[in-house]
Amino acid sequence: MAEALWAEKYRPRTLSEIVNQKDIVNRLMKFVEEKNMPHLLFAGSPGTGKTTAALALVRDLYGDNYEQFFLELNASDERGIDVIRNKVKEFARISVQGDVKFKVILLDEADNMTSDAQQALRRIMEVYTSATRFILACNYLSKIIEPIQSRTALFRFYPLKKEDVITRLKYIAEEEGVSYDEKGLDTIYEVVSGDMRRAINLLQASSSYGKVTQESVFKVLGMTKPKEVQDMVKSALKGDFAKARESLRVLLVNEGLSGEDIIKQMHRIIFSNDMDMPEELRVIIADYLGEAEFRLTEGADDEIQLSAILARIVLLGEKYIGNK
């Protein structure tokens, strides 16, 4: 088994290897054909291919020697105004010769840059645009100041579809000689949604158990099987508060789960096909879960908040299902 992180080992190297983001790839390929491009702003949730697309773009532009024309900075680590004024400015001001007349600077996690740094960057983008193009990657577009947004071409990256994530995971598992079952891969997707990087890392970690199954995935995550949480919810809906609360204590004390982990699993369960309940009931429980999750993040007690949710579910079960 390879020692390297699979997420890096199997990262697409060229634009043609990127899946799912076809519209974005087609637009970027036109820049490669024209050997010219504007400043770019990549926005989207983590693991959707922003950094990968930027690296693939510069490889397609410059070939194997792309590193001498490319500077990558993680703005969350180097986000101060001094870095922008010195490191970025120094690289941006040097002109280049060749088919591509500009260099590229990638500022990853640009939404973590300070406001002053973004203002300084705005000026540098204007002054050195003939010699340098900027690619800014961010998770939250609202944190990028408007003057920078207006000077860039926006590319929105959307979470990858389930079939694309599963297909890639199967390919990597087969390349690495790892056995798996369909339920295991489905569980990975349910946990990470469209975050491909996290999906691959979770696949690698789960493979240490010999086979990637639902059980091995939950072991890696430190989570219990959904059935245990589902049984707890069903007990509450049937009006058995004592049994539901005892199940909760087992999850918190014996299994060592956090209140937030349990709430997230409860949220997935109430919207799953395994739970037969009126739609209005799902909506009300979801509202309670959201309120409790907020309180936990503010420092409330896990057991008290979750016990309160179970108590409400008991009362709702009596009203909507009729179990007492």
What's the confidence (pLDDT) of residue 35? 92
pLDDT for position 272: 80
- Is 123 found in the same domain as 46? yes
**By the 8 A CB rule, do 239 and 321 touch?**
no
Q: Is residue 15 part of a domain?
A: no
Whether residues 139 and 173 share a domain: the answer is no
On whether residue 98 sits in a domain, the answer given is yes
Which tokens in the block code for residue 123? Answer: 């000026």
End-to-end CA distance of the chain: 54
Residue holding tokens 């003057």?
147
One-letter amino acid at 90 equals E
- pTM higher than the cut 0.85: no
Cα of 95 vs its chain's centroid, Å? 36
Question: Which token pair is 225?
Answer: 């099987």
HEC-encoded secondary structure of 4-44: CCHHHHCCCCCHHHCCCCHHHHHHHHHHHHHCCCCCEEEEE
Does 5 fall in a domain? no
d(C-alpha 261, C-alpha 292), whole Å: 12
Same domain flag for 308 and 279: yes
What CATH number is attached to the domain comprising 47?
A: 3.40.50.300
Residues 240 and 186 in one domain: no
Helix (H) or strand (E) holding 119: helix 115-127
CA angle 196, 138, 50 (to 5 degrees): 40
- Give pLDDT < 50 ranges for the chain: 1-2
Nearest alpha carbon to residue 170 among 145, 134, 203: 203
Counting every residue written for the chain, the total comes to 324
- The bridge status of strand 211-212 relative to strand 179-180 is parallel
Whether 65 is in a domain gets the answer yes
Assess whether 188 and 80 both reside in one domain: no
Same domain as 314, residue 187: no
CA atoms of 94 and 295, how far apart (whole Å): 52
Whether 302 is covered by a domain: the verdict is yes
Separation CA 81–CA 117 (nearest Å): 4
Find the CATH number of the domain harbouring 198: 1.10.8.60
Whether 114 is in a domain gets the answer: yes
Final residue in a domain of this structure, among 106, 128, 157: 157
Q: Is there a domain that residue 13 lies in?
A: no
Does residue 152 share a domain with residue 27? yes
Q: What is the pLDDT of residue 83?
A: 67
- Which pLDDT does position 2 carry in this prediction? 42
**What is the tally of structural domains in the chain?**
3
The boundaries of the domain holding residue 267 are 226-319
Residues 244, 261 within the same domain: yes
Do 184 and 80 belong to one domain?
no
**In this structure, are 71 and 175 located in the same domain?**
no
Q: Report d(CA 214, CA 184) in Å as an integer.
A: 4
pLDDT in tens, 48-84: 999 999 999 999 999 988 988 998 887 555 555 666 7
Same structural domain, 53 and 150:
yes
In angstroms, the CA 49 to CA 18 distance is 8
Residue 10 lies in a domain: no
Please check whether residues 254 and 204 belong to one and the same domain.
no
> SS3 of 177, please?
coil
- Where among 173, 194, 221 does a domain terminate? 221
Distance of alpha carbon 151 from alpha carbon 138, whole angstroms: 15
CB 265 within 8 A of CB 226: yes
**Where does a domain end: 134, 157, 180?**
157
Residue 25: predicted pLDDT: 94
Q: List residues bridging with 155 in a β-sheet.
A: 42
Say which CATH number the domain at 234 has.
1.20.272.10
d(CA 169, CA 202): 10
Neighbours of 277 (CB within 10 A): 16
